[in-house]
């Protein structure tokens, strides 16, 4: 393996296409100076996704998952102040030229948004919106795309405006738009939360089968651990804008190390297995303005000590080298 330097990448990783991850988020901080002042709403987040890999980002609502997804696609609102780097295919997204960025958006990264109703233009037919994106370069026609996301009666759907479609149909149209330019990475931002439970399942299955057939990398953002376990090979757990734990999904679900992951898992299991009492984590995620210094979970954590007032760094955990943890007092170790 040759290490080439000076290729424009701001950190010292090999720029070799075979080894560089498709998406590399390093030390990413996002602030909204007008609304939250100096509080980092995303605080030094590190995440990599390799080509063809399915990575889940989980956490409660308000923990910055969606923000991470938008930052990765370089779609943050103008009011956001960003530090750190997001590199796509070895290239710093924020240093890209306008043309490179347009190419990266859509052809590099496709995004499936949470709310399909507002994410589609109410004044344009679904077909017009899909055609507009396909025109920028696509391997398939709009009709083929609609068929590939499991929509029958494509002719009607092409003509229909978003309000004339059902929630599930809208979400599929949105997926078709995200896939239109054959992206290498798809960021799915809670694509099922706005849907009925039965349709949720269909959409997740659709995403999984599309991922297999088209072989794109998938960043699946969700609060639903059960869903994630079916889909993702790797999982990153976020809390209040910080990445607290990451590693192989099966491993994390079997042996959570961070108290937050453990709590999340327990509450979701108590639901699935109909425990007599619902396990829950006390309290709720604080508003960004009230984020604690140090470990942001410490006010809800049973293991917290004075040490937690300092921020634990995300470090390799264990010997296998594939798990990362940011905690001084992990679950499953005697202190």
Partner 1 sequence: MMHVRTSARTGYVRFVVRRLVLAPLILLGVSFTVFVVVDLSPNDPARAVLGLFADAEQRARFAAEHGLNDPLPVRFARFVGDVAQFRLGESVVRPESVNELIGLAFPITVQLMLLATLIAVTSALILGITAAQMEGRWPDRVIGTAAAIFQAAPQFWVGLMFIQLFAVTWGWLPSGGYAPPESGFTYWFSSMIGPAVVLALPFAAAMTRVIRASVADELAKDYVRTALGAGVPGHVVLIRNVLRNALVTPITVLGVYVGLLMSGAILVETVFNLPGMGTLLVTGVQQGDLGVVRGVAIVGAAAFVLINLVVDLLYLLLNPRSAEVAGR
Choices 44-52, 82-90, 105-113, 212-220 (CB under 8 A): range interacting with partner 1: 105-113
Using rule CB under 8 A, residue 86 touches partner 1? no
State whether residue 37 is helix, strand or coil: coil
The CB-of-42 to partner 1 minimum distance in angstroms stands at 18
Using rule CB under 8 A, residue 44 touches partner 1? no
Neighbours of 175 (CB within 10 A): 26
Using rule CB under 8 A, residue 73 touches partner 1? yes
Q: Residue for token digits 């202190």?
A: 335
Neighbours of 162 (CB within 10 A): 21
The CB-of-310 to partner 1 minimum distance in angstroms stands at 37
Choices 175-183, 194-202, 258-266, 292-300 (CB under 8 A): range interacting with partner 1: 175-183
Q: Which residues pair with 236 in a beta bridge?
A: 57, 246
Using rule CB under 8 A, residue 35 touches partner 1? no
Using rule CB under 8 A, residue 102 touches partner 1? yes
* DSSP code of residue 180: T
| 297-to-251, 313, 327 alpha-carbon distances in Å | 22, 14, 10
Please say whether the beta carbons of 270 and 71 come within 8 A. no
Using rule CB under 8 A, residue 180 touches partner 1? yes
Neighbours of 233 (CB within 10 A): 14
Residues in the chain: 335
For partner 1 (CB under 8 A), the number of binding residues is 36
State whether residue 299 is helix, strand or coil: helix
Choices 14-22, 173-181, 264-272, 298-306 (CB under 8 A): range interacting with partner 1: 173-181
- Judged by the rule CB under 8 A, the positions of this chain that interact with partner 1 are 73, 75, 102-107, 109-111, 113, 115, 118-124, 129, 132-133, 136, 153, 156, 159-161, 163-164, 174, 177-178, 180-181
């Amino acid at each position: 393996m040759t290490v080439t330097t000076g290729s424009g990448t701001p950190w010292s990783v090999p720029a070799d296409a075979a080894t560089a991850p498709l998406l590399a988020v390093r030390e990413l901080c996002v602030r909204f100076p007008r609304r939250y002042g100096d509080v980092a709403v995303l605080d030094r987040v590190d995440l990599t996704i390799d080509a063809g890999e399915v990575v889940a980002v989980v956490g409660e609502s308000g923990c910055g998952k969606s923000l991470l997804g938008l930052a990765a696609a370089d779609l943050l609102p103008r009011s956001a102040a960003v530090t750190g780097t997001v590199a796509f295919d070895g290239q710093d997204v924020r240093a890209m030229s306008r043309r490179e960025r347009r190419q990266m958006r859509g052809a590099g990264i496709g995004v499936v948004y949470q709310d399909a109703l507002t994410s589609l233009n109410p004044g344009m037919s679904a077909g017009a919106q899909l055609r507009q994106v396909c025109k920028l370069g696509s391997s398939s026609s709009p009709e083929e795309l609609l068929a590939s996301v499991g929509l029958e009666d494509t002719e009607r759907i092409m003509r229909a405006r978003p309000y004339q479609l059902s929630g599930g149909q809208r979400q599929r149209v949105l997926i078709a738009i995200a896939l239109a330019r054959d992206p290498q990475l798809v960021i799915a931002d809670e694509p099922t939360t706005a849907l009925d439970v039965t349709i949720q399942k269909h959409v997740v299955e659709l995403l999984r089968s599309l991922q297999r057939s088209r072989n794109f990398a998938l960043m699946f953002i969700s609060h639903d651990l059960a869903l994630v376990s079916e889909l993702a090979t790797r999982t990153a757990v976020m809390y209040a804008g910080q990445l607290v734990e990451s590693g192989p999904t099966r491993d994390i679900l079997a042996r959570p190390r961070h108290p937050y992951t453990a709590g999340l898992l327990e509450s979701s299991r108590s639901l699935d297995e109909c425990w007599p009492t619902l396990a829950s984590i006390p309290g709720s995620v604080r508003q960004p303005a009230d984020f604690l210094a140090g470990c942001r979970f410490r006010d809800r954590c049973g293991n917290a000590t004075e040490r937690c007032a300092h921020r634990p760094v995300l470090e390799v955990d264990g010997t296998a080298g594939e798990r990362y943890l940011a905690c001084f007092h992990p679950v499953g170790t005697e202190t």
